[in-house]
Chain A
Amino acid sequence: DAGITQSPRHKVTETGTPVTLRCHQTENHRYMYWYRQDPGHGLRLIHYSYGVKDTDKGEVSDGYSVSRSKTEDFLLTLESATSSQTSVYFCAISPDQQETQYFGPGTRLLVL
């Protein structure tokens, strides 16, 4: 399995609080992605990164920001969490954007 870890694996937070999820890789892959998975929607791309300090928005980026200061780490921040952001968040990595993506184990986030 590709070396991808996500932390935390589970989190419960309150509406209005900031939350940061971390994705860490040991594969030195250039591309990193953040998805959210919700019933009936499959996986939807939030943001992705194509290099250190290089990021772009996905289809559901509102309310989320990302940062990538090192190749191995990609952070997803919910500046002020809302109940609609309750979801399972997956990080993925790939050597190139047309290549296979390898997924982390996911983070379950509950916003009360």
Chain B
Amino acid sequence: AQSVTQPDIHITVSEGASLELRCNYSYGATPYLFWYVQSPGQGLQLLLKYFSGDTLVQGIKGFEAEFKRSQSSFNLRKPSVHWSDAAEYFCAVVAYSSASKIIFGSGTRLSIRP
């Protein structure tokens, strides 16, 4: 069965520092991959997605993610975080099959140190 693992429950970084949030998936074929962000009290907003092609994808708010098939990973990165980036981040996968549904990781909460 497909699954998504976000190994870091909570990460704190200093404002202006770089960020990398980890995501690993388990699936036999190439899945569709997503990163969503959720600010407190809000719904989820799509940051970026990977379907095929270039393995480095750019998203909104200066985020990017790299799909690495050999490591079954889709890590999210940002070169310099801002206080407004404090939120919870969810990685998600959709398997390419007629009975598939999106599976979310358990999330990583990002705190920003002033």
Contacts and interface: CB of A to CB of B under 8 A. Distances in A.
A and B form one complex:
yes
Interface of A: 33, 40-45, 48, 58, 90, 92, 97-98, 100-106
B42 interface: yes
Interface stretch (B13-21, B64-72, B74-82, B96-104): B96-104
Given A92-B44, A100-B46, 10 more contacts: A41-B106, A42-B104, A42-B105, A42-B107, A98-B32, A98-B96, A100-B34, A100-B49, A101-B102, A106-B42
A48 B100 CA distance: 11
Contacts, number: 44
B26 interface: no
Given A97-B100, A98-B100, A100-B34, A42 B42 contact: no
Contacts of A40: 106
A43 B104 contact: yes
Contacts of B12: none
Contacts of B45: 103
B114 interface: no
B100 A90 contact: no
Interface string B81-114: 0000000001000101000111011110000000
Given A42-B107, A45-B101, A97-B100, A104 B43 contact: yes
Nearest to A35: B104
B53 to A, nearest CB: 15
Between B32, B46, B96, B104, the greatest number of chain A beta carbons within 10 A of the residue's beta carbon is seen for B104
A97 B101 contact: yes
Contact of A106 (B32, B43, B46, B101): B43
Nearest to B107: A42
